[in-house]
Structure formats: C-alpha cells, structure tokens
C-alpha cells in the first residue's frame, strides 16, 4: 500500500519543522488531536540545523475491523523513529507496531519544497503487511488511519502556526 498526500502551507518549512520536532508539541498533538492513549518522546538527538533523530512511542485504540482487532488487540502501541535531513528539508520515518512487528513494515517521509512561491508538503507512506489472508485488510486499515491522522495533524498544526 502506497499513499501520497500533498498540502500547501502558509509558513516556512523552518517554522513547520520547529513545531513538528518540539517534544512538548509532539505529545500534545498525539494526546489532543490524534486521540492517543499515551505519547512519549523517548529520545531526540541532534538539532534542526544539522539533522536529528527522534524516537516517539504512542498508543492508540482505533476503530478497527474485526480481523484487524483480532490480530493487533484493542490498543496498538507504535514506535516511530524519524530522521530529519535539513539539507533536503525532509524527514524519513519508520513505524513499528508493538504486535506483529516482524510481519508489518511501515515507512514514509515528509518533504517540503517551494513551488512557484508556495510551500508544499508531500507526505508519503508505504505499508507492507505479510499476514496470510489478512494482509490486504490490514493495509487498507493502515491507509485509512494514515489519511485520517494526517488530516487531523495538519489541522492541529495549522491552528498552532496561525493558518
């Protein structure tokens, strides 16, 4: 499953990244906008000028179809490791669920470009689930969750950034 979403922003990429990688904001985003049951920045090393790596762990109780709930349980704990490259204004990430991590591979990126004076974000996600008979169902669920969470994240961040 591959997903690409594009958004325009009224702020500079630097303002976006400063907020995105603020540890307190990351926790607030998950708790207030994304409905996470828990959220913790486990580690964050480096800085926005030279690059950084952040490990974020959060729990969620999404409304899952029966087969997905049977596989993953009621609450999904996820560890997200993001690596920011300031030269390309891109962060790449991997998301590892606490259950079935050996059969689930989720990775993606958030990249900023200037396009004819506009600041454009491209969010990309690639999910592969190798669970016999249930892989496609889980992948469709991951896509739906990613779309919903990304929409909520963008709305919350736009409010914080003043539009």
Full-model pTM: 0.90
Q: For residue 36, count other CB atoms closer than 10 A to its CB.
A: 22
Contact 93, 107 (CB under 8 A): yes
Closest by CA position to 137, among listed 63, 35, 64, 86: 64
Task: Tell me: pLDDT of 163 over 70.
Answer: no
> Which residue has 């993606």 as its token pair?
108
Rounded-to-integer distance, Cα 7 and Cα 38, Å: 27
Residue 145 tokens read as 């969750």
Residues with Cβ within 8 Å of residue 59, at least 6 apart in sequence: 36, 37, 38, 39, 75, 76, 77, 78
List phi, psi (to 5°) of 57. -125, 135
| Domain limits, the chain | 2-158
Question: How do residues 24-74 score in pLDDT, each as one tens digit?
Answer: 999 999 999 999 999 999 999 999 999 999 999 999 988 877 777 788 888
Rounded-to-integer distance, Cα 138 and Cα 152, Å: 21
Domain 2-158: CATH class, spelled out: alpha beta
Closest by CA position to 54, among listed 87, 11, 92: 92
Q: Quote the percentage of the chain above a pLDDT of 90.
A: 73
């Amino acid at each position: 499953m591959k997903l690409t979403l594009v958004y325009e922003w009224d702020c500079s990429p630097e303002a976006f990244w400063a907020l995105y990688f603020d540890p307190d904001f990351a926790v607030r985003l998950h708790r207030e906008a994304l409905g996470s049951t828990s959220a913790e920045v486990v580690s964050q090393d480096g800085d926005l000028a030279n690059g950084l790596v952040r490990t974020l762990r959060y729990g969620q109780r999404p409304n899952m179809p029966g087969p997905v709930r049977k596989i993953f349980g009621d609450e999904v704990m996820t560890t997200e490791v993001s690596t920011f490259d300031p030269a390309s204004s891109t962060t790449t990430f991997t998301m590892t669920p606490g259950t079935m991590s050996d059969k689930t591979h989720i990775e993606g990126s958030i990249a900023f470009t200037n396009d004819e004076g506009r600041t454009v974000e491209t969010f990309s996600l690639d999910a592969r689930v190798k669970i016999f008979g249930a892989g496609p169902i889980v992948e469709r669920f991951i896509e739906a969750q990613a779309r919903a969470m990304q929409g909520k994240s963008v709305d919350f961040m736009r409010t914080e950034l003043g539009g």
